[in-house]
Structure 1
Amino acid sequence: MIEKTEISRWRLSSDVGVHRWRYLNDEELARSPGQTDAERYLLGLELTREEDKEGFPRTSRSFEQAARAGWIFYSRLQLPEGHWACDYGGPCFLLPGLIFAMYISDTPIPDVWKPEIFRYLSNNVNEDGGWGLHLSGESTVFGTCLYYVVLRILGYSESTPLLSRARECLMSLGGAVGIPQWGKIWLSCLSLYGWDGVNCIPVDLWILPSWLPIHPSRWWVQCRVVYLPTSYLWSNRCSKPLNPLLEKLRGEIYDQPYERINFAKHRNTVAASDRKRSLTLLLRFFFFIITFWCNLLRPRWLLRYANRRVSDLMKMEEHNTGYECLAPVNKAFHMAATWFEEGSKSERLRRHRENVEVYMWMGPNGMTSNGTNGVQVWDTEFSILAAVEAGISDDPVLSPSLHRAHEFLEKSQFRDDLDDEFRQPRKGGWPFSTKSNGYIVSDCAAEGLRAIIKLQNEHSYPKLIDDSRLKECVDTLLLMQNSDDGFASYEKIRGSEYLELLNPAEVFDRIMVEYSYTECTTAVLTALAKFREHYPDYRASDVNRAISRAYKFVASSQRDDGSWYGSWAICFTYAAMFALKSFETVGQQHNNNKGVQKACKFLLSKQKDDGGWGEHHSSCEERKYIDHEKSQVVNTAWAVLALIYAGYPDPTPIQRGLNFILTRPQLIESRQRPNGEWLQEAVEGVFNQTWSHDWLSELQVLFSYNGPRELQISLSSKTERDVVGENHRSYDH
C-alpha cells in the first residue's frame, strides 16, 4: 500500500489565475465548507451528484443536448475567478529541478509533499523500474537518475523497492555518467558530477555585442532563459557542499567508484537511451575554443563583469514575472543561482521560496510539477469560443460561466510593455497562463482577441474591454509577423536557423530559435479577420496585408500528401484543423481549392472503420502520421472540424465521425457519460517533437446540429500540454 495524504484536505486557491494547492490542518478543515466539484474532479475523487455515479442510466441525446450536457458539466469545474485548472506535467526534468533547488538553497520541503511525490512516481514508473523523458516514454538515464535523486532527497531509503528497482534500471543503462546536459548541470550543482564533465556555458556570451548573430537575445526565449542562470552556475562552478547524503549518492548512481571517474572525458557522453541528436562538429569546436578561453585566458575582472551582467538579467526576469520566472526549469536554476550568489537569507531567495508552489500540482496520482504555472488563459479562450460556436453563449442558464470567463480574460490582458531589452512588446496581448507570468504568446493573444470580439460585439456581453484595448492587441500582433509571413510563439524570429548547429541539448531539437507555426499563424489570421469584420477602418491596409501573408504561409506549409505538421499537439489531425480554418477564413474550400481537396483526401485516408480518427504521439517525433490503435475522441473532433472548415461536400464521413447515424454505436456521443463528461483517453499534445502533454478534452468536445453548416463542432481542448518533447512552448510547452 503506497502511503498518501488525506486527499479530502487538499484545496486549490487562485489569485488572478495563480494556483496554489494547500493542505488543511485540523482547525482549517473544521472551518472549511468542503471541496468543490472542481477540486474533487482534479484530485480524482468521486463527484456527488446522482448522474456522476457509475451505473446511472444513459439517455439518448441529440447533438445539441450533448453539447448542453457537456457544458453544464464543464461549468461545474470552473474556478470562481472564471478560468479552469488542469494538470500540465509530464517531462522528467520539471519536478526534479524544483526539488533540487529547494534542497540546495536549504528551503524546507513540506512534509505533505513527500508521500504524494513518492506516490506520483510510483504510479508512473515503467515496468523496468525507470522513468523516461516523459510519462509515455521508455526509461532513460535522464528520468531515472533525476527521480532517484529526488526520492533520496525526500528521505526515502535506497533499499525501498521503488528505489532499488530504479537503481537497477539506472545501472543497466550505464549509470549517471551518460546523463544529458541538463542532468549533468543539476548533478554538478549537487556535487554529484564534476563540472569538468559539463560542456561550457560561459557568462561571456551575455556581454557580446547584441548585433552578433550568436548573441543570446536571438535565441528562442525558452532556450535563452534556461542558459542565462546555467551560465552563472557553470562559470562559477557552483556546487553544494558535500554532506553524508550526497556522499552516499555518489556511490549509488554510478557503476564505478566516483573518485575514478574522469568527468572531463564524459562531456559528450550521453546514453543511447537518451540521445535524440548528436552535437555538431562546429559546436564541439566551439566548446574546445571557449573552454580553453575560460580556463586559461579569461581575466578575472572580465568574469566578474560578465557575472554582474548575468545577475542583472536574472533579476530583471524575476522582477518581470513576480519571481515565478517563465517556467519551472529556469525558475529552479534561478533559485539555485540566487543561493550561490547571495546566500540563504537574501530577499531574492525569500521571494523565490514563496513562489515554488505555483508550479506544484496535486492530482489523482500524486504531486508533480506543471510545465508552466498553468494554461489558464489559453483554456479560457477556447472554452469561450467553444460555447459561442456551439450556440449556447446566450442561454440564460449556461451564460453565467461565460460571464465569469469574460471577466477573467479582462483581468489577464497585458496593459503595458516591459522595460526589458530582450522582451517582445506585449501591450494589449494575452499570456498562455497568467498575467503574472508576463510573457505574451501570439496565438494566446489572438484567441483572446477573437473570444472578446465574439462575446462583446456579436453576443452583447458587457464591454469590459474597450475598443482601444482591442486595437492595442492588433498593433502588437502586427509586430509579431515574421519575414516568412508566419507567426511564431513568444517572439518574432530573431536568429537564423543555422543557430541550430550550436544546439547543446542532446534530447531536444529545434530549440535555438523561434519558428513560424501553422497553428499560431492560423490563430492570428482568424483573429485579424474577425477584428476586420467589426473595425474595417483601423489599419486596414496593414491588417489586410498581414492576413494575406499569413494565408500564404499556411498554404506554403502544406506537404505534398495534403497534410500539415502540427507542433503543439498530436499532430497532423491537429494541424489540419487549424490550416483548413485559415483556408475557410479567406474563402478557400473544397469547391475552389486543390490544396483543400488534397487535405480532405489525406484526412479521409486516416479515418478508421468505426468512423473515428486516432493518431499516436509518435507522429510528432517521426514527423509522419502514425495511427493509434484506437480511435480517439479528440483526434476525431479535430478531423471532423477540419472537414467542416473545408466544406467537404459529402456529409457521410463527418456523420460517421460524429456518430450522426443513430442506428449504430456512436463514437463521440456514446463516450459521453450521463453527467455530460468525456473521459480522458490517450495523450493528445506534444511540443519540441518529443514532449507529450495531455489535453483535458473529454469535456470540451461540444457539438450541435446547426442549419446551413449542417454540423458544427466546437472544440475547446483544455491543455495539460504535458510534454514529451521538443518544440517550444514550455520547458517546462
Structure 2
Amino acid sequence: MTASYQPERTDLAGWRIKVGEDNHGQHKWLYLPEGPVRDAWPQTMEDKYWLGLEVGAPDLPEPTTPLEAARNGFEFYKHLQSEDGHFSAEYGGPLFLIPGLVIALHVCGETLRPEQAVEMRRYLLAKRRKEGGWGLHTAAPPTVYGTVMNYVSLRLLGMGPDEGPMTEIRALIHKMGGATRIPSWGKAWLSILGAYDWDGMNPVPTELWMMPDWVPFAPNKWWIHVRTVALPMAFMYSTRFVGPYTPLIFALRQELYTQPYHSIRWSNQRNNVSPLDIYCPHSRVLDFLHSILGVYERLPWIPFVSSAVPIRKWANDRAYQLITYEDENTGYQTLGPVSKAFHIVCRYAREGPDSEAFKMHLLKVQNFLWMSKDGLMMTGTDGSQLWDLAFMAQAAVETGLAENRENEKSMLGMLDWLDKAQIRKNPKWHAESYRHRTKGAWPFSTPEQGYVVSDCASEGLKAAIQLQSLPYTPKPINLQRMRDCIDTILSLQNPSGGYASYELQRGSEKMELLNAAEVFGNIMVDYLYPECTTSALSGLKYFSKVDPTYRAAEIERAVDKAIRWIHSVQRPDGSWYGAWGICFTYATMFALESLSIAGETYSNSSRVRRACEFLVSKQMDDGGWGETYLSCVNMEYSQHDQSQVVMTSWAILALLQKKDGRWEQEDTEGIFNKNCAIDYPSFKFIFCIWALGKADKYLGS
C-alpha cells in the first residue's frame, strides 16, 4: 500500500456480534451508529477480542504448573464463549471468497451495506502482500487469480482506478501477463461480470449432469466440494449469463489486459494460465476431453439442432433442479462460500430479483461475513462452530477443568449447544441430490447448513458423551440419539478401513486426471485421511463404553480395519501426512491417538517409536515445534522459522502465555486441497489448554 494512503474505516466500537438470531449457531455482525441504540447494547469482551480492541481482562496469577497455565488459558477463553454456548471465531484465510460474493451481488444489482463495503475494502488492502498483490490465501505469494480478482473486488466496492495502490496493483497485473492468464474459476467469474468472454473458458456443459449414475466419472462420483461448485458454474456457462454492461465493466476491460479487449482471441485463452497459479497442471486426458467438448459446444447454439433435440434445455433444467435441492437442503447457504455466490447468480438469472429463492440467498449472506481487526472477511463456511466446541469440551473434561465449580456454567452452555446442534434427520432431498445420510451426526458448523463430516460427527459425539459424564450436567442426548450418530459413522467407513470427509469415496482416484481447477490438488474424489479415520474410530470406542451391546461386533471390526488402514499410510520417516491441518505434526498427533486406542505404545510398537522419533527430530532449539503450510503443498516437512504455540510442547506454551491467560495469534493452522491455508484461531486456546492439562497429569505436577 502506498505510504500516504489510509483506507476509510468504520468506528470499531460500533460493531456487535449476534448469534443464533435466525438459526442455531448463526453468526451475524451488526454495525450500530453512535447514539442510544449503541449505548443500550455495550460491546462484550467477545466483540472486542475479535475486533482487536482492548478486552480489559484481568491479569491472572503467574502459573507455576502446566495445569495452572491451562486454567488461566481457559479463564480467558471463556470470555469468548457466546451466549448460546459455543465459541465464536473467524474462519478466514482464502482470498478467492470475497470476489465471488462481490461479483455476484454486483451482477444482480445488489450491494453490501456502506459500512460493510468500507470494511471489506480495508480487509483486502490489509491482506495485500508486500510484493504488491494477493495470493490464493493470506500466507501465499501473489498470483494472477488472487491479484486480478481482488483488484476487481476493490473496483466494484467503490475504489477508483488510481486511488491509493490501485495503479501499482494494475501494473503488477500487467507484469503477470494480464487477466487472460487467470485460472478457470477466475475466468468463470470474470465472464459472469462481463469483463471476460465465455469463449475463453474450457467447456463445462450441463449435459455432464445427464450422464447415468453408473458412469465411473459421472458428477455424482466427484468430491462434494467439486460438484457443488462445478454444477452452478456449468449452469452459468451453459446459459452464457452475463451481468449488465456498465461504464465500470468497460473500464475493467481496459484495465485488466495487456492488449485491447476487442483484439483478444478468446478461444486461445482457455488453457492460458500463469505458472504463478498452477499447482495441478491439466492432464493430457483432460485437455483431450476439453477439445471434444469444444467441438460439441457448437451444437446447442445451432438453431436447427437445438430446436429438434433440445438437449441443452433439458440439461439446464436438470442442473437447476439440483441447484434448488442444494439450496433447500442447506437453508440457502450451500456447502460453502464459492457455491453460495454462484447460487445467488443462478437463482437470480432463472427466477429474477423478486423470487423467494433469491431473497433467501441475500438474507443468508450475513452468515458468511466476519468482522475482524483488519476489516470484513468472508469465511470458509458459515463458521467452524461445532469443530471448535467439540475439541474445547473434550479438553476441559480430560484436563479436569470441567470439574471446577467456576467452569460449570461454561460446560452447561456447551452441552446445551451440542444438544441443539445434532442433526435429527436426513436432508429433505437426501437421495435426489446424492447426499450421504446425516441423521444423528453433528455438522462442521451449524445444523441448518447441515453438512456432516466424519470427524465432526465423531468429535461431536465424544464431546457429548464426556460432558454428560459430569455429575452436574443433564443428559439430554439419549442413547437412541447416540445410536443414530453411530449408524452414520459406521456408514462412512470405506472398504479399506479409512474414512474420507463428507461421504464414501465414490470413484477412482484416477479421476484426478480430470482436475480442471489448476490451483488445487486431490479434489476430484473424497480421499481418505488419518485425521478423519482417527476421529471416527475413537468415537466408536467412546460409544462402546456407554452402550457396549449396540452393533458391538460391527464396531469392533470397523475399529480393527481403521487401525490397519492407519498402519498402511504411515510414511517411511514415521509421520503421517495431514490434509486438514498443518501438517505432519497435525496428522501424526491424530494417528498416534489411533495407535494408542489399539494398545500400541512406545515400548511395544515400532510404529509408535518411529512416529515419536519423527516428532522429536523436529523439535527446535527453544524446545518447541513449528511447521508451515508448505509442508502440505510440497508433501515434505517445512520448518517454520520460529516455534508455534499450536504445534509445540507444554513448556514453551507456558512461556508464551500472556498474563491475562491468552495466547497470541501466530501463523495459519489449517489447510485444504493441499494448496490453500485457512485459519483456526481458536486452536491456540483449545490445543494449548489441552496439552498443558494433559502434560500436568502425565508429569504429576
What TM-score, normalized by structure 2, do the two folds share?
0.95
Which runs of structure 2 are paired with 1:75-114 in the superposition (5 Å)?
75-114=78-117
Change (3 A) 1:63 1:307: same
Hey, what does 2:15 align to over in structure 1? 10
Change (3 A) 1:405 1:513: same
1:570 CA drift (Å): 0.6
Q: Of 400, 405, 408, which residue of structure 2 is paired with 1:391?
A: 400
Q: Of 218, 223, 228, which residue of structure 2 is paired with 1:225?
A: 228
1:602 aligns with 2:614: yes
1:629 CA drift (Å): 0.9
**Aligned mates of 1:158, 1:585 — CA distance in 2:** 59
**Aligned mates of 1:457, 1:483 — CA distance in 2:** 33
CA deviation vs aligned residue, 1:559-588 (integer Å, no higher than 9, x gap): 111110011111111111100000001111
1:388 CA drift (Å): 0.7
1:310 aligns with 2:315: no
Change (3 A) 1:705 1:616: closer
Q: Is the 8 A contact 2:133 2:147 kept in 1?
A: yes
1:465 aligns with 2:477: yes
1:70 CA drift (Å): 0.9
Paired residue secondary structure (2:249):
helix
**Aligned mates of 1:127, 1:582 — CA distance in 2:** 42
1:499 aligns with 2:511: yes
Hey, what does 1:299 align to over in structure 2? 306
Q: Is the 8 A contact 2:493 2:504 kept in 1?
A: yes
Hey, what does 1:410 align to over in structure 2? 419
Q: Of 444, 457, 468, which residue of structure 2 is paired with 1:456?
A: 468
Worse-matched range after superposition: 18-27 or 348-357: 18-27
Hey, what does 1:24 align to over in structure 2? 32
1:29 CA drift (Å): 2.9
- Corresponding letter in the other structure for 1:498: K
Q: Is the 8 A contact 1:706 1:712 kept in 2?
A: no
1:635 aligns with 2:647: yes
Hey, what does 1:143 align to over in structure 2? 146
Q: Of 317, 324, 346, which residue of structure 1 is paired with 2:333?
A: 324
Paired residue secondary structure (2:417):
helix
Could you tell me the percent identity over the aligned residues? 41
Hey, what does 2:50 align to over in structure 1? 42
1:429 aligns with 2:436: no
**Aligned mates of 2:678, 2:152 — CA distance in 1:** 24
Q: Of 133, 138, 162, which residue of structure 1 is paired with 2:136?
A: 133
Q: Is the 8 A contact 1:203 1:303 kept in 2?
A: yes
**Aligned mates of 2:68, 2:262 — CA distance in 1:** 68
Hey, what does 1:262 align to over in structure 2? 265
Change (3 A) 1:687 1:600: same
CA deviation vs aligned residue, 1:155-192 (integer Å, no higher than 9, x gap): 11001122111111111101100000000000000111
- Corresponding letter in the other structure for 2:47: E
Hey, what does 1:379 align to over in structure 2? 388
1:94 CA drift (Å): 0.4
- Corresponding letter in the other structure for 1:45: L
**Aligned mates of 1:626, 1:273 — CA distance in 2:** 20
Q: Of 698, 707, 712, which residue of structure 1 is paired with 2:684?
A: 698
1:276 aligns with 2:261: no
Paired residue secondary structure (1:398):
helix
1:283 CA drift (Å): 0.9
CA deviation vs aligned residue, 1:21-47 (integer Å, no higher than 9, x gap): 111134563453300110100111101
**Aligned mates of 1:535, 1:594 — CA distance in 2:** 33
Q: CA RMSD in A?
A: 1.6
Q: Is the 8 A contact 2:330 2:450 kept in 1?
A: yes
Which runs of structure 2 are paired with 1:169-208 in the superposition (5 Å)?
169-208=172-211
1:704 CA drift (Å): 4.8
CA deviation vs aligned residue, 1:47-105 (integer Å, no higher than 9, x gap): 12442xxxxx9724321211111111111110001111111112121011111111011
- Corresponding letter in the other structure for 1:412: A
Paired residue secondary structure (2:370):
strand
Paired residue secondary structure (1:471):
helix
Q: Is the 8 A contact 1:676 1:699 kept in 2?
A: no
Change (3 A) 1:36 1:707: closer
1:459 CA drift (Å): 4.8
Change (3 A) 1:446 1:234: same
Worse-matched range after superposition: 286-295 or 243-252: 286-295
Hey, what does 2:666 align to over in structure 1? 681
1:2 CA drift (Å): 2.6
Q: Is the 8 A contact 2:573 2:614 kept in 1?
A: yes
What TM-score, normalized by structure 1, do the two folds share?
0.91
- Corresponding letter in the other structure for 1:32: A
**Aligned mates of 1:255, 1:712 — CA distance in 2:** 67
Paired residue secondary structure (1:11):
strand
- Corresponding letter in the other structure for 1:414: I
**Aligned mates of 1:416, 1:341 — CA distance in 2:** 30
CA deviation vs aligned residue, 1:289-310 (integer Å, no higher than 9, x gap): 1221221266352111111111
- Corresponding letter in the other structure for 2:489: L
Paired residue secondary structure (2:439):
coil
Gaps of 5+ in 1: 52-56, 637-656, 660-666, 714-733
Worse-matched range after superposition: 18-27 or 606-615: 18-27
1:525 CA drift (Å): 0.6
Which runs of structure 2 are paired with 1:267-666 in the superposition (5 Å)?
267-296=270-299, 299-300=306-307, 301-418=310-427, 419-421=429-431, 422-457=434-469, 459=471, 461-636=473-648, 657-659=649-651
1:426 CA drift (Å): 0.5
Hey, what does 2:3 align to over in structure 1? none
Paired residue secondary structure (2:278):
coil
- Corresponding letter in the other structure for 2:685: L
Hey, what does 1:209 align to over in structure 2? 212
Change (3 A) 1:189 1:707: closer
Q: Is the 8 A contact 1:178 1:266 kept in 2?
A: yes
Change (3 A) 1:684 1:30: closer
**Aligned mates of 2:478, 2:389 — CA distance in 1:** 19
**Aligned mates of 2:194, 2:340 — CA distance in 1:** 20
Paired residue secondary structure (1:710):
helix
- Corresponding letter in the other structure for 1:353: L
**Aligned mates of 2:38, 2:444 — CA distance in 1:** 36
Paired residue secondary structure (2:539):
helix
**Aligned mates of 1:682, 1:126 — CA distance in 2:** 15
**Aligned mates of 2:97, 2:700 — CA distance in 1:** 38
1:707 CA drift (Å): 9.7
Worse-matched range after superposition: 541-550 or 603-612: 603-612
Change (3 A) 1:708 1:670: closer
Q: Is the 8 A contact 1:128 1:165 kept in 2?
A: no
- Corresponding letter in the other structure for 1:17: G
CA deviation vs aligned residue, 1:668-713 (integer Å, no higher than 9, x gap): 1121111110111111211111111222233221145679952499
**Aligned mates of 2:64, 2:125 — CA distance in 1:** 40
Change (3 A) 1:290 1:513: same
**Aligned mates of 2:470, 2:543 — CA distance in 1:** 11
Change (3 A) 1:317 1:133: same
Paired residue secondary structure (1:444):
helix
1:153 aligns with 2:156: yes
**Aligned mates of 1:579, 1:563 — CA distance in 2:** 9
Q: Is the 8 A contact 2:107 2:244 kept in 1?
A: no
- Corresponding letter in the other structure for 1:440: V
1:498 CA drift (Å): 1.2
- Corresponding letter in the other structure for 1:420: H
- Corresponding letter in the other structure for 1:619: S
**Aligned mates of 2:472, 2:13 — CA distance in 1:** 41
